[in-house]
Structure 1
Amino acid sequence: MRLRLTALFLMLLMSAASAAPAPQQVDIPLSSGILHAQLFKPEGEGPFPTVIALHGCGGLGSHSEPVLPRYRDWAMRLLKTGNAVLWPDSYGSRELGPQCRVKEMHVSARRERVIDIAASRAWLMKQSWVARDRVSLIGWANGASALLWAVRPQVATARDPGPDFRAAIAFYPDCRISAGLGWSTRVPTLVLIGANDDVSSPPACRQMVEGAHGRSALARIVVYPGAYHDFDRANTQLHAAGGSNDAAAPEHGHLGTDAEARAESQKDVAHWLTR
């Protein structure tokens, strides 16, 4: 009986995986090479609202899959609401693995990843299926930190021809540098973080957002009570990152799913993108 149930479970998993649309790899020109990206696009000609989604320090994919399950989950949710999703692979494009525990970063959130964001936006502006006035940003951890740099008024993208980003959503970024530099945004920006996040800093993110009031585009923060880093990642038991040898995990702090915060963040994302 147990063997039959196991076989049925595996068949259901395989069926679900085959039903999920496969991403298409696209190549985006950079001044120093090619930025590989994975594209999830609804069926039809569009134009579609589009999200540029930014992976964390663990990277976008693995040897066996171009987009990790945690990011594919978000891609499927965004697809269901009619969004196309473009995932630039900032590390794989430069033949790098996870950068969570690397002492000397070869790809900086403040420089190379902002360049990747600008290149992704420029590529999207040339695609006929894109609703050019409805391109938004979502980032996680290191990708969210890059997002915070990319939406600052000083960034060159703000002076490029064509519509700017419609909205930006940052999941648990490291706000400490931005808070100290007097961060502001030219794009409506939402920061989502767990109150117990001991990888990033909820107080720094609150200080950063509150400090931008009155001299910035709309900026909001949601702090989910009791939630830790990676709260939106499904089926992840709360654990200490420092207790593992996982190169795709931070060196310190705790990671794990918070079912309530995960559900609330999904609603908050949907609302922010359609407001």
Structure 2
Amino acid sequence: MRLRLTALFLMLLMSAAHAAPAPQQVDIPLSSGILHAQLYKPEGEGPFPTVIALHGCGGLGNHSESVLPRYRDWALQLLKAGNAVLLPDSYGSRELGPQCRVKEMHVKARRERVADIAASRAWLMKQSWVARDRVSLIGWANGASALLWAVRPQSAAREAGPDFRAAIAFYPDCRISAGLGWSARVPTLVLIGANDDVSSPPACRQMVDGARGRSALTRIVVYPGAYHDFDRANTPLHAAAGTTDAAAPEHGHLGTDAEARAESQKEVAEWLAR
């Protein structure tokens, strides 16, 4: 009986390993060092549509995992749909841990993280397996805020090659962008929960509404009853202030919303397929 259970356990492990391919680490040159990134790539020679995925303030991975489950789940879903997925590690590459509760951040969304996005794009443009006209951006929280800076007309890439195909921002902090009269040069989708008290749904609505008529296509979806991290699986709703988790914001509430999570997966697939 024990041998049978052991064999079954090994079969399940093998099945899980087959279903969840391990990413490959790649090193991307920066003007001041190396940007480490994790790459999920479909089998074959391509060219593949490719998504640059930008982690939040908690970082991309930890000591035991190069990619946290919340980002791995999305990467595998995008991979299953035929996309390559590149996940730059903006904090780990600079030997930094989570930045959610750091008062003076050394890696800023509008500066270093925008530079990481540009470096990632430049690296992808040199890869033979990349469909160069189908490179898109997706980001969460701080990574989504970086995305908003990166798609502004003022941040247009200087290197040769097609611009980003599309951009998707999960619950960014829109307050500064809204005040600056933000606009986008590529189609940009903002996804946020109506009850998000970490970011600001009204500021995101103001930002998107203000861009109409002087921007590429922009759209916002506000999910009723959903909070920050609504797309993160298996996360009971809880107050961030009640935890000592350095990878969580200092205030607000976090938690899965099954309906918003499912709807956002459809929105992402449709926006990338445009």
Normalising by the smaller structure, the TM-score range is over 0.9
Q: Deviations over 1:19-69 (max 9, x none)?
A: 311100000000100000000000000000000000000000011110001
The C-alpha deviation readout for 1:127-165, integer Å capped at 9, x for no partner, is 000000000000000000000000000014x44321000
- Residue 41 of structure 2 contacts residue 79 of structure 2 at CA under 8 Å; is this kept in 1? yes
Tell me by how many angstroms 1:181 deviates: 0.3
Give the superposition deviation at 1:6: 12
Going from structure 1 to structure 2, the CA distance change for 1:62 and 1:4 (only over 3 Å counts) comes to farther
Residues 21 and 201 (structure 1 numbering): CA distance in 2 closer, same or farther, change over 3 Å? same
Is the 2:109–2:146 Cα contact (8 Å) retained in structure 1? yes
**CA-to-aligned-CA distance 1:62-114 (integer Å, 9 cap, x gap):** 11110001100001100011000000000000000000000110100000000
The normalised TM-score by structure 2 is: 0.96
SS of 2:98's partner is coil
- Please give the alpha-carbon distance, in whole angstroms, between the structure 2 residues aligned to 1:55 and 1:136: 15
CA displacement at 1:16 relative to structure 2: 1.6
Partner SS state of residue 26, structure 2? strand
Residues in 2 aligned to 1:182 and 1:81: alpha-carbon distance in whole angstroms? 35
How far, CA to CA, are the matches of 2:168 and 2:101 in structure 1? 25
Give a deviation string over 1:174-228, Cα, whole Å, max 9, x none. 0000000000000000000000000000000000000000000000000001000
Moved more, 158-167 or 258-267: 158-167
Cα distance, 1:10–1:118 mapped onto 2, change above 3 Å: same
In the TM superposition, what is the alpha-carbon distance from 1:8 to its structure 2 partner? 6.7
Determine helix, strand or coil for the equivalent of 2:49: strand
Is the alpha carbon distance of 1:243 and 1:184 closer, same or farther for their aligned partners in structure 2, counting shifts above 3 Å? same
Question: Is the Cα contact below 8 Å between 2:109 and 2:145 reproduced in 1?
Answer: yes
Indicate conservation of the 8 Å contact 2:134/2:164, yes or no: yes
SS at match of 1:159: coil
Q: How many residues end up aligned between the 2 structures?
A: 274
- CA 1:13 to 1:202, structure 2 compared with 1: closer, same or farther past 3 Å? farther
For the pair 1:95 / 2:113, whether they are aligned, the reply is no
Structure 1 spans left out of the alignment, 5+ residues: none
Distance of aligned partners of 1:246 and 1:22 in 2 relative to their CA distance in 1, 3 Å threshold: same
Taking a change above 3 Å as real, the CA distance of residues 123 and 244 of structure 1, as seen in their structure-2 partners, is same
Question: Contact 2:122 / 2:159 at 8 angstroms: preserved in 1?
Answer: no
Q: In the alignment, which residue of structure 2 is the partner of 1:176?
A: 175
| Contact preservation (8 Å) 2:169, 2:190 | yes
The 1:241/1:46 distance shift into structure 2, 3 A limit, reads same
Higher mean alpha-carbon deviation, 16-25 vs 110-119, is at: 16-25
Secondary structure, counterpart of 1:61 in structure 2: coil
Offset of 1:9 from its aligned partner? 7.9
Whole-angstrom CA distance in 1 between matches of 2:9 and 2:234? 16
Identity %: 91
Mean CA deviation greater in 17-26 or 123-132: 17-26
Counterpart-to-counterpart distance in 2, 1:28 and 1:123:
7
